[in-house]
Structure 1
């Protein structure tokens, strides 16, 4: 079988097994399980926690002791086993530990999949620079397809999303054993200390003011990267509580609408060379930060009816917000560090954004939403007033029934229903992103260098 096709299938499945639940888990948490919103933030923090150490540890194993494709296969099978167990969990505290275990198995496979692709392409004498991007694009396609399948099969609020992820991850694990061998090169010297092996030497970069500033801003922006993935789908889904929106396609197929964000990613990747050439690395990073302001702001004022254009535009802007910072930031690190420190510096960049940043954003967002933007409604009259409906509205009664809540004879609800003020939530996130943008533009002093020009020319051609 063609090597490129085999790697393309691996890339497709790599992100399929993640997206099967990543965007829709909030519906399971808030809707099916009806757990406390303050605890939800910890679920997305597991990705950051796992990213702090697992990719490094598995990287050492693949470099020194075990074939990368075999380690990759085992990790996916273990991830599948955890996915199969996840629906059995009955408490949010236990759910955190189980999903953390799943992320410890899954997160390192992202780096391993890249490593397997690079090694296999080189061994097959392909040009990695030209051959890898089309292969990686199919990872995004896999992400989109998984979102669509979970939504179209009616499983965005059910435990079946974890079974979809588990079955596909198990299949990917078995398939990975058949991939071309990527033997360990034993590049890590036994003479190196564990500080060197774990890449902790990169913390020396904080001695440089500009690099320290860049990493700190990377962390704060990293806190925003997963917020719309965490809350976007449940935000759109909760419009079904409003009778004027409940039957709209956007509400019923919210995950499909959000997949525009991933489609946008693939398109904006193609535009990056133009923006870098025209505006330079710092300005592209500022543009990405402004895009996050619009991403959140458009969500704040959008709705599934006359404000649908805002939601769609927010999804389109996401590609610029996500890709521009990751790629321009990576180029800045590449051109601002010595060859000896370059790999460690790139690892630090990922650690600050997807590690510490993700933990910061996940934990604080859950706490803020629950403490400041969630209200408990105890009567049908209060709830009807909130959603501009009559207390006896059939759609409203149906919505409550879907959450296992009945209306008593005196108008009291059998259980208080928490309602999140999403307008204020997204507006708060937008203000946060705007503050970061302004401070970064003022404090981060940077001009084009010849090395940057060469790097930009390389990806332009």
Structure 2
């Protein structure tokens, strides 16, 4: 790649994840404090991510891959996203807000696949070239959190009380418009499937990969992935409201520690994978979820604040050791014929089905332990996903038979 192309792809990744991290982290806090949404309504808002993940294969497989250059549809989707995000900024109630956030996530989730397609199309050796590009996405997420907490103080008690947290939507609307315009300058990425080429709908949507479920180990991994996303949903939905409610200063900025640890453990993953193998590595990821929620349950914003920060820092192990290891395992099981389809299947199972169930459960439990307005029994709320993750860990440990999985860095 030329230096210009590297810059273009890096800036694209930066904005793509700056946009996601710039509003999604503080969504629960905003809805609960500024739109007076209850746990069930907050769960509905977060579930739009899952609906977007479920619908995304249809947009990519049936439309983007057949009729449009990837960079053009990326631009169109982000320009539409800018409009919807601005409407979310202006919403004065949950009933007005919800249709816009649902529409936004339906058009945003496909862009995650599009930025990868655009990047891979410019690479001769993705195994070496993709990570240095993709890391700018993580940096974008971190910068968004730091801007919210330390530059503008939107998530401070005063900022939340005065309604300033809604400015995150305006900030993201501007960033989305910028990426929308910038996308049209990206390298051309033509459709992967010719218009007149006959391809089955099941192949386009990745359903051919369902054949992999005939493998007992993959079937166990598949259902473990769905189940572990239930406690994962608790973190996305409740972590920022929890930290804000108990009085932690600059909660959104401090949550970027999780993304920083993600980068560190991504670099350590090849070592763990080679030394301990797939099963032990993925079990470490599951155990990290249990430990994280125990730290959240018994930590506080005072003397025990280190427990909360440690729980946030465990994000690298939680995400990399389970999800990235799972992607590597899926790739090794799929073979050349089903590589893309298999990755799409796992994404659909986790971010789609698993987290859809998880957000619903998290909303119900959060409402169950509501003590008074915007005051919860967080100890009991966090204990539930901690125990759930531990059960999934034991089931996986007993049922999954050890097998060798090669890792190519």
Instruction: Please give the range of the TM-score, normalised by the shorter of the 2 chains.
Output: over 0.9
Q: Select which of 296, 300, 313 maps to 1:316.
A: 313
Q: Deviations over 1:176-199 (max 9, x none)?
A: 111111122325874333223222
Give yes or no for contact 2:79–2:176 (8 Å, CA) kept in 1.
Answer: yes
Give yes or no for contact 1:41–1:362 (8 Å, CA) kept in 2.
Answer: yes
Counterpart-to-counterpart distance in 1, 2:37 and 2:53: 26
Aligned-partner SS, 1:21: coil
Q: Deviations over 1:277-308 (max 9, x none)?
A: 01101111100000111111111111122111
Counterpart-to-counterpart distance in 2, 1:216 and 1:68: 32
CA gap of 1:421–1:39, structure 2 versus 1, over 3 A, is same
Q: Deviations over 1:140-192 (max 9, x none)?
A: 01001011112231323421110011001101110111111112232587433
Aligned-partner SS, 2:122: helix
Q: Select which of 143, 146, 150 maps to 2:144.
A: 146
1:39 is aligned to 41
Q: Select which of 349, 357, 366 maps to 1:360.
A: 357
Work out the number of aligned pairs and report it.
Answer: 398
Aligned-partner SS, 1:180: coil
- Structure 2 unpaired stretches of 5+: none
Aligned-partner SS, 1:233: helix
CA gap of 1:308–1:226, structure 2 versus 1, over 3 A, is same
Q: Deviations over 1:375-408 (max 9, x none)?
A: 23xxxxxxxxxxxxxxxxxxxxxxxxxxxxxxxx
Counterpart-to-counterpart distance in 2, 1:346 and 1:189: 26
Larger CA deviation: 20-29 vs 260-269: 20-29
1:82 is aligned to 84
Counterpart-to-counterpart distance in 2, 1:151 and 1:55: 35
1:275 is aligned to 272
Q: Could you state the TM-score of these two structures normalised by the residue count of structure 1?
A: 0.83
Cα drift, residue 9 of structure 1: 0.7
Q: Deviations over 1:187-221 (max 9, x none)?
A: 58743332232222223333333222211111011
1:9 equivalent to 2:7? Answer: no
1:235 equivalent to 2:246? Answer: no
Give yes or no for contact 2:148–2:253 (8 Å, CA) kept in 1.
Answer: no
Aligned-partner SS, 2:179: helix
Aligned-partner SS, 2:402: coil
- Structure 1 unpaired stretches of 5+: 241-250, 377-416
Q: Select which of 237, 254, 257 maps to 1:257.
A: 254
Counterpart-to-counterpart distance in 1, 2:92 and 2:392: 38
Cα drift, residue 418 of structure 1: 4.3
The structure with the largest alpha-carbon Rg is 1
Q: Select which of 171, 176, 182 maps to 2:183.
A: 176
Give yes or no for contact 2:229–2:351 (8 Å, CA) kept in 1.
Answer: yes
Aligned-partner SS, 1:366: helix
Q: Select which of 357, 375, 386 maps to 2:371.
A: 375
Give yes or no for contact 2:72–2:184 (8 Å, CA) kept in 1.
Answer: yes
Counterpart-to-counterpart distance in 2, 1:196 and 1:119: 20
Q: Could you state the TM-score of these two structures normalised by the residue count of structure 2?
A: 0.93
Cα drift, residue 18 of structure 1: 1.0
Moved >6 Å (runs of 4+):
none
1:93-104 equivalence runs, <5 A: 93-104=95-106
Give yes or no for contact 2:33–2:374 (8 Å, CA) kept in 1.
Answer: no
Aligned-partner SS, 1:375: strand
